[in-house]
Structure 1
């Protein structure tokens, strides 16, 4: 009985924090950081000022949490070819960005200059891509002389550039098509022909991965499902 009473406030706190992040994400998805106020976030989340500041000390802290929440670095699962992991992470992000406002908000915030969270996208993904490239090299997937660090920077920078070009494009499939074409060009420049022949770099790859993950989550036994 006591444990149940203790879980009540904790669950309410979790729900309040989620409402704040959801409300902020809806705003930041379509507005620059400087055009969103604490009061705007409070109203969008439907929470009182005290509750908001209980979870976050400032607007910057909320924005940083939105960025962290939005960039779910998926698909790095250790499959073969290892280069497929890099492609999959990008295709999932390309699929989610125009469809999920939290991801769109994270992308916008991470590419706005003069804020502490500027660059969060490439700070998170460049090391991830570089590490996967090292693994791919060890597995013989790369052409001789490919630099892991330089390639990872070009890879993430090119993705970021396309995302910026299509920031206001909401038509499903447009970003995925361009990102898939980009990946096909990049992979041809670094991978062996044998590796390329084993890879899936089609524009609907991200959609298929997201739907497969959702189906797997729905079918998981109770107690094994993720948050």
Structure 2
């Protein structure tokens, strides 16, 4: 068990180091040598987990989706909003989120298939919206898959604009404005009035999640 935990920690350290390098330099200019330097790992440790730079980048992209987990809510659309706000908050300084974000929207490199990330985010959002539909939270006119793709694409654009203007410091507020304009188009009125779209919600949720993770570690 101790060996397995050590392997998990090593893999995570490599991913975070790689993500920070991708965030700083992009995919094409990133080097395995710099990843190793930042991670403080040997080549053997890295290649045990990842066979190439491409595999490393794809793992960072996939980890971005896996990392977003929020507390269940009575209203499923609130979970959808919460996931967006937690991601917006983490994009300020979380290495995995920032590295994956640059990899996802970076132009110029043809060596990395980004469709997997967009598809994963689309499936994640579609799942939340599908559950919201099952609970009667969505207007009848909403097409779940098209709406999911709209939100994924819009978020990518919002974070690019926020990166240009404030290094993503204002992303949570920009996302709140987006939700204020779009939620009335998809949520039934009785659900809409109960949604908390506060731009500070992501910070509060992340703090609660952090405390929960610390409690889990202490309990082991």
Q: TM-score range by the shorter chain?
A: 0.7 to 0.9
2:135 corresponds to: 139
More helix by share: 2
Q: Residues of 2 paired with 1:118 and 1:68: CA distance?
A: 10
Determine which of 86, 95, 105 is the counterpart of 1:92.
Answer: 86
Q: TM-score when scaled to structure 1?
A: 0.85
Q: CA RMSD in A?
A: 2.3
Q: Residues of 1 paired with 2:123 and 2:178: CA distance?
A: 20
Q: Residues of 2 paired with 1:160 and 1:125: CA distance?
A: 11
1:3 corresponds to: none
CA contact (8 A) 2:162 2:168 kept: no
Task: Give the number of aligned pairs.
Answer: 216
Q: Which of 1 and 2 has greater Rg?
A: 1
Q: TM-score when scaled to structure 2?
A: 0.87
CA contact (8 A) 1:25 1:105 kept: yes
Closer/same/farther in 2, CA of residues 159 and 76 from structure 1, 3 Å limit: farther
Q: Residues of 2 paired with 1:7 and 1:221: CA distance?
A: 14
More RCO (CA 8 Å, sep 6+): 2
2:195 corresponds to: 199
Q: CA deviation at 1:58?
A: 0.6
Q: Find out whether 1:16 has 2:10 as its counterpart.
A: yes
Q: Which runs of 5+ in 2 are unaligned?
A: none
CA contact (8 A) 1:97 1:103 kept: yes
1:165 corresponds to: 161
Query: Per the alignment, in what secondary structure is the counterpart of residue 24 of structure 1?
Result: helix
CA contact (8 A) 1:76 1:89 kept: no
